[in-house]
Amino acid sequence: MREMVSEPESKLLRAWQLAVLRFAVTLDDDDRMHALGVAGEVDRLGGAADDAFHFFRRTTAELCAAISGRSVDQDAVIRRFLAQIDNVRLKRAFEAAISRDRTPPKLVASRIKPGNDLWRGLPSRRATGS
Cβ neighbours for 21, distance < 8 A, ≥ 6 positions apart:
90, 93, 94, 97
b/e map 108-130, b = 16+ CB within 10 Å: eeeeeeeeeeeeeeeeeeeeeee
Which of 39-43, 54-58, 93-97, 122-126 is least confident?
122-126
Q: What are the tens digits of pLDDT across the range 50-63?
A: 556 788 999 999 99
Q: What are the tens digits of pLDDT across the range 51-110?
A: 567 889 999 999 999 999 887 888 999 999 999 999 999 999 999 998 866 555 555 555
Q: How far apart are CA 130 and CA 127, in angstroms?
A: 8
Task: Give the pLDDT confidence score for residue 2 in this predicted structure.
Answer: 46
Cβ neighbours for 64, distance < 8 A, ≥ 6 positions apart:
20, 23, 32, 35, 36
Would the pTM of this model clear 0.85, i.e. be above it? no
